[in-house]
Amino acid sequence: MPTLFDLREGAVRQEGIEPSVSIPSGRDLVAEPLDLEGVTAIRLDMPGFKDGRAFSQARLLRQRFGFEGDLIVGGHVLPDQAQAMLRVGVNLVELADDVRVDAFAQGVKAYRYAYQRPAEGRPVFELRREER
């Protein structure tokens, strides 16, 4: 079982999670929607760092299909992508043996706020409105 890094917590998740469904990067979730009933964890494949389809799939699963379980990205993931993964709703990353856990922890903390609307939560401009 691969090491899972929890992007929301900024640490390695101790208990293992077995995804109910694994989605290849080429699957069109709009044309071929999934039956998400009873699904608690979905693994998305990222075959290369230039292939961003897993980001689109994650956002669709969270926003359009209302998936609330664990979204796991595995494959060729980089610490620099941690913030972007969080913003589209990914909460777990499978870490390869050659990836440093502390690099992912730093990637998650790189920016505290973002202006773009996230898949979960609120953008900084809404938070600033409340402070007035």
Q: Is it the case that residue 73 has pLDDT exceeding 90? A: yes
Write out the residue range of the structural domain in which residue 19 sits. Answer: 3-131
| In contact, 23 and 45? CB cutoff 8 Å | yes
Task: Enumerate residues 6+ apart whose C-beta is below 8 A from 10.
Answer: 105, 108, 109
> What does the pLDDT average to over 60-74?
94
Mean pLDDT of 11-24: 88
Rg of the chain over Cα atoms, rounded to whole angstroms, equals 15
Q: What is the pLDDT of residue 13?
A: 87
Which is it for strands 41-46 and 70-75: parallel, antiparallel or unpaired? parallel
Task: Look at the block and give the residue holding tokens 């994650």.
Answer: 58
pLDDT at 96: 82
When divided into structural domains, the chain yields a total of 1
- Sheet containing strand 41-46, strands side by side: 11-13, 3-6, 92-95, 70-75, 41-46, 21-23
What is the CATH classification number for the domain harbouring 36? 3.40.50
**pLDDT tens digit string along 97-125?**
887 888 888 887 776 666 666 666 666 66
Write out pLDDT tens, residues 31-48.
998 999 999 999 999 998
Q: How confident is the model at residue 66 (pLDDT cuts 50, 70, 90)?
A: very high
CA–CA separation, 14 vs 6, rounded Å?
A: 10
Min mean pLDDT across 4-8, 10-14, 68-72, 116-120 is at 116-120
What is this structure's pTM? 0.82
Q: How far apart are CA 19 and CA 124, in angstroms?
A: 32
